[in-house]
Chain A
Amino acid sequence: MPVDVDELVVRVADICTYKWDMLRNRPFAFCLSAFAGGAFVVFGAMLALSVSAGVGTNLAPGIANLVMGLVFAFSLVIILFSGMTLVTADMAVGIIGVFHRRINWFWFLVGIVAGYAGNFAGSMFFMWVVSKGGSYMALPWLVQSHAIAVKKTGMTPGQIFALGIICTWTLQTAALLYVKANEDIAKIAMAAYGPLAFVAGMTEHCIANIGFLALPLFQQDLFLAAGGAAASAAPVILHWGFGQYGWAHNQLYTVLGNFIGGIFFVGIVFQLVSNPKRVMALYRDKKNFMQKL
Protein backbone atom coordinates (compact mmCIF):
# COMPACT_ATOMS: atom_id res chain seq x y z
CA MET A 1 0.00 0.00 0.00
CA PRO A 2 1.30 3.48 -0.76
CA VAL A 3 1.78 5.79 2.19
CA ASP A 4 -0.69 8.59 2.85
CA VAL A 5 0.07 12.24 2.15
CA ASP A 6 1.18 12.93 5.74
CA GLU A 7 3.83 10.24 5.59
CA LEU A 8 4.68 11.34 2.06
CA VAL A 9 5.68 14.89 3.05
CA VAL A 10 7.82 13.47 5.88
CA ARG A 11 9.56 11.13 3.41
CA VAL A 12 10.12 14.02 1.01
CA ALA A 13 11.58 16.12 3.84
CA ASP A 14 13.95 13.23 4.66
CA ILE A 15 15.03 13.09 1.00
CA CYS A 16 15.55 16.86 1.13
CA THR A 17 17.82 16.46 4.15
CA TYR A 18 19.82 13.77 2.35
CA LYS A 19 20.24 15.82 -0.83
CA TRP A 20 21.17 19.08 0.88
CA ASP A 21 23.48 17.26 3.28
CA MET A 22 25.29 15.92 0.22
CA LEU A 23 25.46 19.45 -1.19
CA ARG A 24 26.95 20.84 2.03
CA ASN A 25 29.32 18.03 2.93
CA ARG A 26 30.08 16.36 -0.40
CA PRO A 27 29.64 19.13 -2.99
CA PHE A 28 31.64 17.28 -5.64
CA ALA A 29 29.36 14.25 -5.30
CA PHE A 30 26.33 16.52 -5.57
CA CYS A 31 27.66 18.19 -8.73
CA LEU A 32 28.47 14.80 -10.21
CA SER A 33 24.97 13.52 -9.45
CA ALA A 34 23.52 16.65 -11.11
CA PHE A 35 25.77 16.11 -14.14
CA ALA A 36 24.54 12.51 -14.41
CA GLY A 37 20.92 13.59 -13.87
CA GLY A 38 21.17 16.12 -16.70
CA ALA A 39 22.58 13.47 -19.01
CA PHE A 40 19.87 10.96 -17.99
CA VAL A 41 17.17 13.44 -19.00
CA VAL A 42 18.60 13.85 -22.47
CA PHE A 43 19.01 10.09 -22.90
CA GLY A 44 15.24 10.44 -23.31
CA ALA A 45 15.57 13.43 -25.65
CA MET A 46 17.92 11.44 -27.88
CA LEU A 47 15.50 8.49 -27.98
CA ALA A 48 12.55 10.80 -28.63
CA LEU A 49 14.37 12.32 -31.58
CA SER A 50 15.43 8.91 -32.83
CA VAL A 51 11.89 7.46 -32.98
CA SER A 52 9.99 10.54 -34.10
CA ALA A 53 11.99 11.48 -37.21
CA GLY A 54 9.81 11.15 -40.28
CA VAL A 55 6.58 10.34 -38.41
CA GLY A 56 4.04 11.96 -40.68
CA THR A 57 1.61 14.52 -39.34
CA ASN A 58 -0.86 13.34 -41.99
CA LEU A 59 -1.06 10.05 -40.04
CA ALA A 60 -2.27 11.88 -36.93
CA PRO A 61 -0.77 15.07 -35.50
CA GLY A 62 -0.31 13.57 -32.04
CA ILE A 63 1.38 10.28 -33.00
CA ALA A 64 4.90 11.73 -32.97
CA ASN A 65 4.22 13.20 -29.50
CA LEU A 66 3.04 9.82 -28.26
CA VAL A 67 6.04 7.87 -29.49
CA MET A 68 8.38 10.54 -28.15
CA GLY A 69 6.67 10.39 -24.75
CA LEU A 70 6.77 6.59 -24.63
CA VAL A 71 10.54 6.42 -25.11
CA PHE A 72 11.20 9.46 -22.93
CA ALA A 73 9.23 7.95 -20.05
CA PHE A 74 12.11 6.03 -18.53
CA SER A 75 14.30 9.09 -18.03
CA LEU A 76 12.76 9.92 -14.68
CA VAL A 77 12.72 6.24 -13.70
CA ILE A 78 16.50 5.95 -14.10
CA ILE A 79 17.09 9.29 -12.35
CA LEU A 80 14.97 8.41 -9.34
CA PHE A 81 16.11 4.78 -9.06
CA SER A 82 19.75 5.83 -9.28
CA GLY A 83 19.25 8.71 -6.82
CA MET A 84 20.75 11.29 -9.16
CA THR A 85 19.85 14.96 -9.08
CA LEU A 86 17.25 16.67 -11.23
CA VAL A 87 16.78 20.35 -10.47
CA THR A 88 13.05 20.40 -11.19
CA ALA A 89 12.51 17.53 -8.73
CA ASP A 90 14.59 19.40 -6.16
CA MET A 91 12.28 22.41 -6.51
CA ALA A 92 9.35 20.40 -5.11
CA VAL A 93 11.50 18.47 -2.62
CA GLY A 94 13.25 21.64 -1.43
CA ILE A 95 10.12 23.67 -0.74
CA ILE A 96 8.73 20.84 1.42
CA GLY A 97 12.13 20.82 3.17
CA VAL A 98 11.70 24.54 3.84
CA PHE A 99 8.27 23.92 5.42
CA HIS A 100 9.83 21.18 7.57
CA ARG A 101 12.75 23.46 8.56
CA ARG A 102 15.28 21.04 7.07
CA ILE A 103 16.83 23.83 4.97
CA ASN A 104 16.49 27.60 4.95
CA TRP A 105 15.77 29.82 1.93
CA PHE A 106 19.45 30.48 1.29
CA TRP A 107 20.34 26.80 1.03
CA PHE A 108 17.21 26.15 -1.01
CA LEU A 109 18.43 28.64 -3.62
CA VAL A 110 22.02 27.32 -3.49
CA GLY A 111 20.69 23.80 -4.14
CA ILE A 112 18.59 24.94 -7.09
CA VAL A 113 21.46 26.90 -8.67
CA ALA A 114 23.98 24.08 -8.13
CA GLY A 115 21.52 21.47 -9.41
CA TYR A 116 20.77 23.53 -12.50
CA ALA A 117 24.47 24.08 -13.23
CA GLY A 118 25.23 20.36 -12.99
CA ASN A 119 22.17 19.39 -15.04
CA PHE A 120 23.13 21.99 -17.65
CA ALA A 121 26.63 20.57 -17.97
CA GLY A 122 25.40 16.96 -18.21
CA SER A 123 22.65 17.72 -20.70
CA MET A 124 24.86 19.90 -22.89
CA PHE A 125 27.80 17.48 -22.84
CA PHE A 126 25.68 14.45 -23.68
CA MET A 127 24.04 16.22 -26.61
CA TRP A 128 27.43 17.42 -27.86
CA VAL A 129 28.53 13.77 -27.93
CA VAL A 130 25.27 12.81 -29.72
CA SER A 131 25.92 15.56 -32.30
CA LYS A 132 29.12 13.72 -33.21
CA GLY A 133 27.28 10.42 -33.68
CA GLY A 134 26.86 9.43 -37.30
CA SER A 135 23.27 8.19 -36.95
CA TYR A 136 22.06 11.67 -36.13
CA MET A 137 23.79 13.26 -39.12
CA ALA A 138 21.32 11.73 -41.60
CA LEU A 139 18.80 14.14 -43.08
CA PRO A 140 15.58 12.85 -41.42
CA TRP A 141 17.09 13.35 -37.95
CA LEU A 142 18.69 16.69 -38.81
CA VAL A 143 15.31 17.92 -40.07
CA GLN A 144 13.40 16.55 -37.07
CA SER A 145 15.76 18.01 -34.45
CA HIS A 146 15.67 21.35 -36.26
CA ALA A 147 11.86 21.26 -36.46
CA ILE A 148 11.56 20.49 -32.72
CA ALA A 149 13.86 23.44 -31.92
CA VAL A 150 12.02 25.81 -34.26
CA LYS A 151 8.73 24.93 -32.58
CA LYS A 152 10.13 25.37 -29.08
CA THR A 153 12.06 28.59 -29.67
CA GLY A 154 9.49 30.17 -31.97
CA MET A 155 6.83 30.48 -29.29
CA THR A 156 6.15 33.73 -27.46
CA PRO A 157 7.40 34.21 -23.88
CA GLY A 158 3.89 33.68 -22.51
CA GLN A 159 3.39 30.45 -24.43
CA ILE A 160 6.72 28.98 -23.24
CA PHE A 161 6.05 30.13 -19.67
CA ALA A 162 2.61 28.47 -19.59
CA LEU A 163 3.99 25.19 -20.96
CA GLY A 164 6.84 25.37 -18.41
CA ILE A 165 4.28 25.52 -15.57
CA ILE A 166 2.32 22.57 -16.95
CA CYS A 167 5.51 20.54 -17.40
CA THR A 168 6.67 20.51 -13.79
CA TRP A 169 3.09 20.31 -12.55
CA THR A 170 2.79 16.91 -14.24
CA LEU A 171 6.40 15.81 -13.80
CA GLN A 172 6.76 16.60 -10.10
CA THR A 173 3.37 15.16 -9.29
CA ALA A 174 4.74 11.92 -10.72
CA ALA A 175 8.02 12.31 -8.79
CA LEU A 176 6.18 12.73 -5.47
CA LEU A 177 3.93 9.79 -6.24
CA TYR A 178 7.11 7.77 -6.87
CA VAL A 179 8.10 8.58 -3.28
CA LYS A 180 4.59 7.72 -2.09
CA ALA A 181 4.68 4.26 -3.70
CA ASN A 182 6.29 1.35 -1.85
CA GLU A 183 6.60 -1.36 -4.50
CA ASP A 184 9.13 -1.21 -7.34
CA ILE A 185 6.50 -1.74 -10.04
CA ALA A 186 4.35 1.08 -8.69
CA LYS A 187 7.41 3.33 -8.44
CA ILE A 188 8.34 2.59 -12.05
CA ALA A 189 4.79 3.32 -13.23
CA MET A 190 4.63 6.61 -11.34
CA ALA A 191 8.06 7.78 -12.45
CA ALA A 192 7.37 6.85 -16.08
CA TYR A 193 4.12 8.79 -16.10
CA GLY A 194 5.89 12.12 -15.53
CA PRO A 195 8.09 12.29 -18.66
CA LEU A 196 5.39 10.57 -20.73
CA ALA A 197 2.96 13.32 -19.72
CA PHE A 198 5.29 16.23 -20.21
CA VAL A 199 6.68 15.08 -23.57
CA ALA A 200 3.44 13.75 -25.07
CA GLY A 201 1.77 16.85 -23.62
CA MET A 202 4.12 19.07 -25.68
CA THR A 203 5.28 21.01 -22.61
CA GLU A 204 8.62 22.67 -21.84
CA HIS A 205 11.21 21.25 -19.42
CA CYS A 206 14.34 23.31 -18.85
CA ILE A 207 16.86 20.44 -18.69
CA ALA A 208 15.30 18.45 -21.54
CA ASN A 209 15.25 21.63 -23.62
CA ILE A 210 18.93 22.33 -22.98
CA GLY A 211 19.63 19.19 -24.96
CA PHE A 212 16.68 19.32 -27.37
CA LEU A 213 17.77 22.80 -28.48
CA ALA A 214 21.53 22.36 -28.26
CA LEU A 215 21.65 19.40 -30.66
CA PRO A 216 20.27 21.26 -33.71
CA LEU A 217 22.52 24.19 -32.87
CA PHE A 218 25.58 21.91 -32.73
CA GLN A 219 24.48 20.41 -36.05
CA GLN A 220 23.17 23.52 -37.81
CA ASP A 221 26.03 23.67 -40.31
CA LEU A 222 25.40 20.03 -41.20
CA PHE A 223 21.66 20.69 -41.49
CA LEU A 224 22.21 23.58 -43.89
CA ALA A 225 24.87 21.75 -45.89
CA ALA A 226 22.66 18.68 -46.25
CA GLY A 227 19.89 20.79 -47.73
CA GLY A 228 17.81 20.53 -44.59
CA ALA A 229 16.47 24.04 -44.99
CA ALA A 230 14.89 23.03 -48.29
CA ALA A 231 13.49 19.80 -46.80
CA SER A 232 12.22 21.50 -43.66
CA ALA A 233 8.81 23.08 -43.46
CA ALA A 234 10.33 25.89 -41.43
CA PRO A 235 13.77 26.87 -42.76
CA VAL A 236 14.80 29.02 -39.83
CA ILE A 237 18.29 29.82 -38.56
CA LEU A 238 18.56 29.00 -34.85
CA HIS A 239 20.86 30.88 -32.47
CA TRP A 240 21.99 30.79 -28.83
CA GLY A 241 20.59 34.22 -27.85
CA PHE A 242 17.41 35.68 -26.37
CA GLY A 243 15.53 36.61 -29.54
CA GLN A 244 12.98 34.47 -31.36
CA TYR A 245 14.46 31.08 -32.33
CA GLY A 246 17.09 31.55 -29.64
CA TRP A 247 18.18 28.87 -27.13
CA ALA A 248 18.28 31.36 -24.25
CA HIS A 249 14.81 32.73 -25.13
CA ASN A 250 13.25 29.31 -24.58
CA GLN A 251 15.42 28.46 -21.59
CA LEU A 252 14.67 31.62 -19.61
CA TYR A 253 10.88 31.35 -19.75
CA THR A 254 10.95 27.57 -19.34
CA VAL A 255 12.95 27.90 -16.11
CA LEU A 256 10.54 30.54 -14.76
CA GLY A 257 7.53 28.38 -15.62
CA ASN A 258 9.13 25.23 -14.20
CA PHE A 259 9.71 27.03 -10.89
CA ILE A 260 6.02 27.83 -10.50
CA GLY A 261 4.77 24.42 -11.61
CA GLY A 262 7.11 22.44 -9.32
CA ILE A 263 7.03 24.64 -6.23
CA PHE A 264 3.59 26.19 -6.22
CA PHE A 265 1.37 23.58 -7.81
CA VAL A 266 3.11 20.47 -6.45
CA GLY A 267 5.34 21.07 -3.41
CA ILE A 268 3.08 23.60 -1.69
CA VAL A 269 -0.12 21.79 -2.62
CA PHE A 270 1.04 18.44 -1.16
CA GLN A 271 2.35 20.22 1.94
CA LEU A 272 -0.88 22.13 2.55
CA VAL A 273 -3.00 19.03 1.96
CA SER A 274 -1.05 17.11 4.62
CA ASN A 275 -2.43 17.24 8.16
CA PRO A 276 0.06 19.23 10.29
CA LYS A 277 -1.02 17.61 13.56
CA ARG A 278 -0.57 14.13 12.14
CA VAL A 279 2.78 15.09 10.62
CA MET A 280 3.92 16.37 14.03
CA ALA A 281 2.77 13.08 15.58
CA LEU A 282 4.87 11.21 13.02
CA TYR A 283 7.88 13.33 13.96
CA ARG A 284 7.47 12.47 17.64
CA ASP A 285 8.20 8.80 16.94
CA LYS A 286 10.85 9.50 14.34
CA LYS A 287 14.44 8.33 14.73
CA ASN A 288 15.96 8.79 11.28
CA PHE A 289 15.73 12.11 9.42
CA MET A 290 17.51 11.18 6.24
CA GLN A 291 16.36 9.05 3.31
CA LYS A 292 18.08 8.21 0.06
CA LEU A 293 15.95 8.14 -3.05
Chain B
Amino acid sequence: MDVSYTPFDLSIWIIFAAFCFLTWLIVRVYRGKYPEYPGKSGEDKK
Protein backbone atom coordinates (compact mmCIF):
# COMPACT_ATOMS: atom_id res chain seq x y z
CA MET B 1 0.00 0.00 0.00
CA ASP B 2 1.33 3.41 -0.93
CA VAL B 3 1.39 5.65 2.14
CA SER B 4 2.57 9.24 2.13
CA TYR B 5 3.94 10.82 5.30
CA THR B 6 3.04 14.38 4.42
CA PRO B 7 1.46 17.15 6.48
CA PHE B 8 -0.99 17.68 3.61
CA ASP B 9 -2.85 14.36 3.65
CA LEU B 10 -5.86 15.42 1.60
CA SER B 11 -8.39 12.93 2.93
CA ILE B 12 -7.71 13.87 6.55
CA TRP B 13 -7.84 17.58 5.89
CA ILE B 14 -11.16 17.11 4.04
CA ILE B 15 -12.57 15.15 7.00
CA PHE B 16 -11.34 17.86 9.37
CA ALA B 17 -12.84 20.65 7.26
CA ALA B 18 -16.14 18.76 7.10
CA PHE B 19 -16.06 18.39 10.89
CA CYS B 20 -15.47 22.14 11.34
CA PHE B 21 -18.35 22.98 8.99
CA LEU B 22 -20.67 20.46 10.62
CA THR B 23 -19.85 21.77 14.09
CA TRP B 24 -20.58 25.34 12.98
CA LEU B 25 -23.79 24.19 11.28
CA ILE B 26 -25.04 22.30 14.34
CA VAL B 27 -24.51 25.35 16.56
CA ARG B 28 -26.24 27.58 14.01
CA VAL B 29 -29.25 25.27 13.61
CA TYR B 30 -29.50 24.87 17.41
CA ARG B 31 -29.49 28.61 17.93
CA GLY B 32 -32.06 28.98 15.14
CA LYS B 33 -34.33 26.43 16.77
CA TYR B 34 -33.90 27.89 20.28
CA PRO B 35 -33.26 31.60 19.72
CA GLU B 36 -33.65 32.45 23.41
CA TYR B 37 -31.34 29.63 24.55
CA PRO B 38 -30.10 29.42 27.23
CA GLY B 39 -31.79 32.39 28.85
CA LYS B 40 -30.69 35.37 30.84
CA SER B 41 -26.94 34.92 30.34
CA GLY B 42 -27.56 34.61 26.61
CA GLU B 43 -25.07 37.08 25.19
CA ASP B 44 -21.79 36.46 23.47
CA LYS B 45 -19.05 38.20 25.39
CA LYS B 46 -16.89 40.30 23.06
Interface check B39, CB cutoff 8 A: yes
In the complex the two chains form, what is the Cα distance from A243 to B5 in whole Å? 5
Residues of A close to B36: CB separation below 8 A: 280
Q: A260-B19, A268-B26 are in contact. Are A102 and B37 (CB under 8 A)?
A: no
CB of B25, distance to nearest CB on chain A (Å)? 11
Report yes or no: B40 in contact with A242, Cβ–Cβ below 8 A. Answer: no
Report yes or no: B23 in contact with A263, Cβ–Cβ below 8 A. Answer: yes
A residues 256-275 touching B (CB-CB < 8 Å):
256, 259-260, 263-264, 268, 271-272
- Listed residue (B3, B27, B30, B39) with the most chain A CB atoms within 10 angstroms of its CB: B39
Interface check A107, CB cutoff 8 A: yes
Report yes or no: B41 in contact with A242, Cβ–Cβ below 8 A. Answer: no
Residues of B close to A116: CB separation below 8 A: none
Interface check A249, CB cutoff 8 A: yes
Interface check B32, CB cutoff 8 A: no
Residues of B close to A243: CB separation below 8 A: 5
Q: A259-B16, A280-B38 are in contact. Are A101 and B43 (CB under 8 A)?
A: yes
Q: A98-B27, A280-B36 are in contact. Are A157 and B9 (CB under 8 A)?
A: yes
Q: How large is the interface on B (under 10, 10 to 19, 20 to 34, 35 or more residues)?
A: 20 to 34
Residues of A close to B3: CB separation below 8 A: 156
A residues 148-171 touching B (CB-CB < 8 Å):
156-158, 161
Report yes or no: B37 in contact with A161, Cβ–Cβ below 8 A. Answer: no
Report yes or no: A156 in contact with B40, Cβ–Cβ below 8 A. Answer: no
Residues of B close to A244: CB separation below 8 A: 5
- Please pick, from B4, B12, B37, B46, the residue contacting A280 in the complex, using a CB distance under 8 A: B37
Interface string of A1-32 (1 = CB under 8 A from B): 00000000010010000001000100000000
User: Nearest CB to that of A280 among chain B residues?
Assistant: B39
Q: A157-B9, A242-B7, A268-B26 are in contact. Are A107 and B41 (CB under 8 A)?
A: no
Q: A158-B11, A248-B7, A256-B12 are in contact. Are A284 and B40 (CB under 8 A)?
A: yes
CB of A271, distance to nearest CB on chain B (Å)? 8
Q: A99-B30, A252-B7, A253-B12 are in contact. Are A264 and B38 (CB under 8 A)?
A: no
In the complex the two chains form, what is the Cα distance from A161 to B9 in whole Å? 11
CB of B37, distance to nearest CB on chain A (Å)? 6
CB of B44, distance to nearest CB on chain A (Å)? 4
CB of A244, distance to nearest CB on chain B (Å)? 4
Report yes or no: B39 in contact with A283, Cβ–Cβ below 8 A. Answer: yes
Residues of B close to A259: CB separation below 8 A: 16, 19
Report yes or no: B5 in contact with A242, Cβ–Cβ below 8 A. Answer: yes
Task: List 17 A-B residue pairs with CB atoms under 8 Å apart, sorted by A's residue number.
Answer: A20-B45, A100-B41, A101-B43, A103-B44, A104-B44, A156-B5, A158-B11, A249-B5, A249-B7, A256-B12, A259-B16, A263-B23, A272-B30, A276-B37, A283-B41, A284-B40, A289-B41
